[in-house]
Amino acid sequence: MPNSSDFSSPTRRGFLATTGGVLAGAVAAPRNLAAAEPQSDESSGVAKPRRKIPIGVFDPAFPDLTLDQLVEKYASMGVEAAEIGTGGYPDNKHCPMPELITDSAKLKAWRKKFEDHNIQISVLSCHGNPVHPDKAIADRDAETFKQTVQLAEKLGVKVIVGFSGCPGANPTDKNPNWITYRWPPEYAAAQDWQWKEKLIPYWKGAARYAREHGIHRLALEMHPNFCVYNPLTLLKLREAVGEEIGANNDLSHLFWQGCNPVDVIHMLGKQGAIFHAHMKDTVLYPDKVARYGVLNFVFEKQDLKTASDAFRAVGYGHGASQWKDIMRAYMDVGYDGIFSVENEDPILSGEVGVERALYVLKNVREELLTETA
């Protein structure tokens, strides 16, 4: 595995030629997506220089490290930005949020650990289910969101990441009910109730609370088992609530749904609706997809023999050439966030998966920036 010094190696120019096939893993080579035209200055017709988008890491990849160990690890890996979990499903292993909100000295010391290593705290994440039919769970996750907004305000962080949540199908349900198919008719009625009575009212209130604290970017991850799970449902909620709602554009959840990643980036980017980008890949096993379909996702290494799809580190589901098209698209739509590595690879777990993803992303980014030099 390359060390951090390899990220600036002069051999980077030949990176795509040597890695495009290897990093594709066990899948067939993806079709070549059409490259987007670079942004240009309309008055001069000259292409604008591409922004060097910072590359960061989402901290749940290192749940066993202390905060001091985490920032040291990030520094050694050349990580430029941090996405920090504040509660919900990612938990808050490295962010004692209540203390940081109430104690300015502790907040200053916490932030300084990142600043001393030249790591930008870019995003706070509180993935939960604030519309859960169990009121105790919903209230807990809604409170975590509010505290995350308060902390973001104190830190000057502009983006909060989360899930839309998923309610039950009716007022008496005790478990969330993810409805994607509007037939028979009772499912359509239940889905309409979810959006009208639960989802939209909650997020209108949440967006208002965020605005009051100077936060205008709520990046919802399009994720199965939640009401917002694809670009269409994201835009539906954005239209109903307002422009505070945008995407955490985690393509790992869109690959298996058949989305074209470049098309998605251009569609959402042109509307200013991409607030954050998780960098995580998905491998599709064509023989299993042919037999079982795509709704056969696995998370454990021992289950891969029957998997249609599984999460992988960047470059291990789709080749480096496709990730170059993806990163080019982000640059061309003027995306102003970070690329945040999230590792849930059942084969390349923990540090190894993060290192591999960073290696691909940094080399591809350099290729793109060199093109316009």
Query: In this predicted structure, what is the pLDDT of residue 45?
Result: 52
Give residue for tokens 């955490």: 248
Segment 67-71 mean pLDDT: 98
The mean of the pLDDT values for the chain is 90
- How wide is the angle at C-alpha 217 spanned by C-alphas 223 and 116, nearest 5°? 100
Confidence of residue 6 (pLDDT cuts 50, 70, 90): very low
Burial environment of residue 259 by CB neighbours within 10 A (0 to 12, 13 to 18, 19 or more) = middle
d(CA 213, CA 206): 11
Checking if the pLDDT of 41 tops 90, the result is no
Query: In this predicted structure, what is the pLDDT of residue 371?
Result: 87
Confidence of residue 373 (pLDDT cuts 50, 70, 90): low
Confidence of residue 47 (pLDDT cuts 50, 70, 90): low
In this structure, are residues 119 and 80 in contact, taking their beta carbons and an 8 Å threshold? yes
DSSP string, 207-258: HHHHHHTT--EEEEE--TTSS--SHHHHHHHHHHH-TTEEEE--THHHHTTT
In Å, how far from its chain's centre is CA 235?
Answer: 17
| CA quadruple 364, 366, 369, 373: dihedral sign | negative
Between 22-26, 130-134, 252-256, the lowest mean confidence (pLDDT) is in: 22-26
In this structure, are residues 238 and 273 in contact, taking their beta carbons and an 8 Å threshold? yes
Tokens, residue 204 = 């209108």
Identify the CA nearest to 355 among candidates 302, 305, 294, 313: 313
In this structure, are residues 13 and 370 in contact, taking their beta carbons and an 8 Å threshold? yes
Segment 164-192 mean pLDDT: 98
d(CA 335, CA 247): 12
Burial environment of residue 145 by CB neighbours within 10 A (0 to 12, 13 to 18, 19 or more) = buried
d(CA 207, CA 155): 19
What count of residues does the chain have? 373
Burial environment of residue 270 by CB neighbours within 10 A (0 to 12, 13 to 18, 19 or more) = exposed
Q: Which amino acid is at 129?
A: N
SS3 132: coil
Segment 17-28 mean pLDDT: 39
d(CA 340, CA 331): 15
281-284 vs 309-312, strand pairing mode: antiparallel
In this structure, are residues 177 and 131 in contact, taking their beta carbons and an 8 Å threshold? no
Checking if the pLDDT of 32 tops 70, the result is no
Query: Can you give the C-alpha Rg of the chain in angstroms?
Result: 21
CB atoms within 10 A of CB 189: 14
Query: In this predicted structure, what is the pLDDT of residue 249?
Result: 98
Checking if the pLDDT of 23 tops 60, the result is no
In Å, how far from its chain's centre is CA 233?
Answer: 16
